[in-house]
Structure 1
Amino acid sequence: MRIVVKFGGTSVQDTVRIKKAAQSIIQQAKKGYEVVAVVSAMGNTTDTLTSLLKNSVKDRIEDRDYADFVSMGERISARILSATIKSMGFTSKYFDPADDNFPIITDSNFNQAKILSPESKEKCQKIIEPLLKKGIIPIVCGFLGKNCEDGSITTLGRGGSDITAFALGNFLQADEVIIVTDAVGVLSADPRIIKKPVTLKEISVEEMGILAEGGAKVLHPQALKYKTDQMKAKIIHFQNGDLETEGTEITGAFKSKLTLFKEKLTMLTILGSEIFDTPGLLKKIISPISDNLISLYGVSIGTKHIGIYVIQNYAQKSYDLIHPVVIEDERLKSVTLKKDIALIIVRSRDFIETPGIIQQITQPLANKDINIIEMTTIKTDILIFLDWKDREFAFQIINKSLAEAGIVITNN
């Protein structure tokens, strides 16, 4: 059993919590498990350092020097946790990004560095693997990397320790990655806003990614791209002091998908005015549709219109349901139907980190005179509505475009 465990800043913010973290690692080591620990800066150390630096030098500091300065929090944490484990009778070794054997190799972007997977994986297997087999507990600074060009220190951006943990889990083929934080797991709502949110026992990688991109602070969204199907993962609270405690389990792995929807769709366009300034107008239009158990496959809102997509078999019924609403509301003027519409759904985690991906998909379609009726982008999903007659050819073109962009489609 091989585990990568990441301790967030609140998990190691004082001596009591550092000892608890060390004890939780040793509990697993006593069972014969191989454990790699990733550690963040203690408490609010990074905020303190950045504030100190900003007040001292204002904006007159090079990115290289900034990365080196803010790295101090994690570098201190790694040393303290390693020393604590040693004091409890176990062998440990910390890894500092200033050393040649640091396992996370990145590009030269000092403050938003990208991990170079082949180089980092080679380092992990050459340096970390032998230590684990000897029963030594590696402690790796989270959030930090080593520049592939000159060996200088880089950072992965705020929250980057999550990325470090899942990347190491991937490169070392860990059985499980555990994120130890100040949350009991993933909640149904922000506890600062909702008094009694519910802890989710399980959440998929796709769902976790959507929450993270939507502002949830419990896990860095980029970390999840390193999770595999075989790798277990969970988020637990530091107060338990036990890595086997329950929290929220993260299931599955990101898979890029290209789907050609089988059914013909119809677009209903409702013409009106004051669309943006009329609360409840969208609900007024959609309610008759949902009340009759008709599914919606897309909704768009413009300054002068609302568009909804339904399966073509329900086109007439939907038209009949919406028309009375149009007649009754003075802000609505007319409703029209456009039939024989196809839907292609493209899903990839890479979209969020690939500038220009929309153009890479749409330009080849335009070059072949294929018109896009409408396109909706939602986090990792792109929904493309086009004429039914173009669907097969468009599907082939998009598939080729994704391959050229380096996005591997795992299933069609």
Structure 2
Amino acid sequence: MRVVAKFGGTSLGSGDRINRAADSVANAVREGHEIAVVASAMGNTTDELLEDITFEADEADRAEIVSMGERTSVRMLKAALAARGIDALFLEPGHPQWPVITDERGEVDVEETTRRAKALAAELDHVVPVITGFLAETHDGTVTTLGRGGSDTTAVMLGRYMDADEVVIVTDVEGVMTGDPHVVEGARNVGQISVDELRNLSFRGAEVVAPSALSYKDDELDVRVVHYQHGDLLSGGTQITGEFKHLVDLREEPLACLTVAGRAIRNQAGVFHRLSQSLAESGINVDAVASGMDSVTFYVDVDEAERAENILHREVIDDEMLSSVTVEDDIAVVRVTGGELPNQPGIIAEIVAPMAEAGINIHDLITSATSVAIFVAWGDREQTLEILQQLY
């Protein structure tokens, strides 16, 4: 089996942990597996180096400085593997076999990186390459970086381009947990999670796998997260399944928009719960929800609009803080899903501008971690779909 193993900073944070990492790689090699290693900077080295740059420095100098953490890690890990009789080679920007190449804008040159990654993969039966994570270089040899979480990106990218069977992310957590074990009792490991689920968690604060890394995962590549303490690359942890694709999807049936108005609804504990529960208890599915300071809007199937209006009206009557409920029928929703859409600067303007030029009024726009939902009049649905398909 061909495996790309990425060791995070905590898993290389001391001599003992480096020994544990080297043991796990050596054991896998002795079992006949082809292993490539991606190493982060030891501990918090990168953050500490960044904090020490208290002077004016251009991007090239900053990249060279912060690269020292990863450059140290690969030397330490290579030496530890050599001490175990494993033929290893450390790779950093500037090495003739260095694989990760970017263009002048800092974007990964997929064609050249793929060519170099495949050349490196062809030698895995002879040597274990220990590769600096986070770093890249341009065609002219300038050191660049892949941004926050870049070591994860390096690992999954190389896993894909080296035709690996699996990428193993070695970190300081037991894979993906049901909750933060430092905060909630009884948190347990999730044996399997989809790319979609994990990306949503990652964008909302879960520090498991960098979202930028998951964009390189496809259906053919397995990705697994394991704890460094177990010292086993080939079992345990959480398996990440699936492939995240850009998708522009038009809901086939129209929606109705029901808006409940009230005084400072957002500051009233339990109001949203009571309204949602009343719809759920009557078997009415809510497609989406939007809220403001003085209103909550529910989107439901247009066939359920009258029943939903009566249910919500009863809640309005029973709560003096609520004033009224209104209904608007024949709303269409087009969803754009994929990538890091809501986290890309200018993404909303990119969507809104062509729709404004086409004279389409946006009824509502709701973002999540990995999608944007655009609500328009039913009669504008086909033109909206066409515009978004051209964009994505």
TM-score bracket for this pair, using the shorter chain length: over 0.9
Matches within 5 A, 1:6-405: 6-51=6-51, 53-54=52-53, 58-107=54-103, 113-126=106-119, 128-132=120-124, 134-148=125-139, 150-352=140-342, 354-402=344-392
Look up the SS of the partner of 1:399 in the other structure.
helix
1:22-58 deviations in whole A, cap 9, x for unaligned? 221122222322110001112232233334x24xxx2
Q: Is the Cα contact below 8 Å between 2:137 and 2:144 reproduced in 1?
A: yes
Which amino acid counterpart does residue 355 of structure 1 have in structure 2?
Answer: P
Look up the SS of the partner of 2:75 in the other structure.
helix
1:354 Cα shift?
A: 4.1
Measure, in 1, the Cα distance between the counterparts of 2:305 and 2:21. Answer: 59
1:174 Cα shift?
A: 0.9
Q: Note closer, same or farther for the CA distance 1:401–1:61 as it changes in structure 2 (3 Å cut).
A: closer
Q: Note closer, same or farther for the CA distance 1:20–1:201 as it changes in structure 2 (3 Å cut).
A: same
1:298-350 deviations in whole A, cap 9, x for unaligned? 11112332211111111111111111211222222111111111121211114
1:272-320 deviations in whole A, cap 9, x for unaligned? 2222322222222222111112111111112332211111111111111
Q: Is the Cα contact below 8 Å between 2:342 and 2:368 reproduced in 1?
A: no
- Count, aligned residues: 392
Which amino acid counterpart does residue 213 of structure 1 have in structure 2?
Answer: F
Measure, in 1, the Cα distance between the counterparts of 2:91 and 2:384. Answer: 49
Q: Is the Cα contact below 8 Å between 1:364 and 1:401 reproduced in 2?
A: no
1:260 Cα shift?
A: 1.4
1:244-287 deviations in whole A, cap 9, x for unaligned? 22110000011111211122211111122222322222222222
1:175 Cα shift?
A: 0.7
Which amino acid counterpart does residue 76 of structure 1 have in structure 2?
Answer: T
Q: Is the Cα contact below 8 Å between 2:366 and 2:373 reproduced in 1?
A: yes
1:10 Cα shift?
A: 1.7
Look up the SS of the partner of 1:222 in the other structure.
helix
Partner of 1:410: none
Measure, in 2, the Cα distance between the counterparts of 1:218 and 1:69. Answer: 26
Q: Is the Cα contact below 8 Å between 1:267 and 1:341 reproduced in 2?
A: yes
1:367 Cα shift?
A: 2.5
Which amino acid counterpart does residue 336 of structure 1 have in structure 2?
Answer: T
Look up the SS of the partner of 1:67 in the other structure.
helix
Look up the SS of the partner of 2:235 in the other structure.
coil
Q: Is the Cα contact below 8 Å between 1:342 and 1:386 reproduced in 2?
A: yes
Q: Is the Cα contact below 8 Å between 2:342 and 2:372 reproduced in 1?
A: no
Q: Which moved more, 1:164-173 or 1:23-32?
A: 23-32
TM-score, normalised with respect to structure 1: 0.90
Measure, in 1, the Cα distance between the counterparts of 2:121 and 2:164. Answer: 11
Measure, in 2, the Cα distance between the counterparts of 1:276 and 1:95. Answer: 54
Measure, in 2, the Cα distance between the counterparts of 1:214 and 1:357. Answer: 18
Measure, in 1, the Cα distance between the counterparts of 2:290 and 2:379. Answer: 23
Which amino acid counterpart does residue 91 of structure 1 have in structure 2?
Answer: D
Q: Note closer, same or farther for the CA distance 1:352–1:3 as it changes in structure 2 (3 Å cut).
A: farther
Which amino acid counterpart does residue 216 of structure 2 have in structure 1?
Answer: Y
Q: Note closer, same or farther for the CA distance 1:359–1:237 as it changes in structure 2 (3 Å cut).
A: same
Q: Is the Cα contact below 8 Å between 2:340 and 2:369 reproduced in 1?
A: no
Measure, in 1, the Cα distance between the counterparts of 2:3 and 2:204. Answer: 28
Measure, in 2, the Cα distance between the counterparts of 1:287 and 1:331. Answer: 18
Look up the SS of the partner of 1:115 in the other structure.
coil
Which amino acid counterpart does residue 6 of structure 1 have in structure 2?
Answer: K
TM-score, normalised with respect to structure 2: 0.95
Measure, in 2, the Cα distance between the counterparts of 1:369 and 1:152. Answer: 46
Measure, in 2, the Cα distance between the counterparts of 1:397 and 1:159. Answer: 33
Measure, in 2, the Cα distance between the counterparts of 1:317 and 1:324. Answer: 11
1:108 Cα shift?
A: 5.1
Look up the SS of the partner of 2:267 in the other structure.
coil
Which amino acid counterpart does residue 17 of structure 1 have in structure 2?
Answer: R
1:171-226 deviations in whole A, cap 9, x for unaligned? 11111000011111101111222133121010001111111111111211100001
Measure, in 2, the Cα distance between the counterparts of 1:320 and 1:309. Answer: 15
Q: Is the Cα contact below 8 Å between 1:108 and 1:154 reproduced in 2?
A: no
Measure, in 2, the Cα distance between the counterparts of 1:283 and 1:15. Answer: 51
Which amino acid counterpart does residue 122 of structure 2 have in structure 1?
Answer: P
Measure, in 2, the Cα distance between the counterparts of 1:66 and 1:255. Answer: 34
Consecutive unaligned residues in structure 2, runs of 5 or more: none
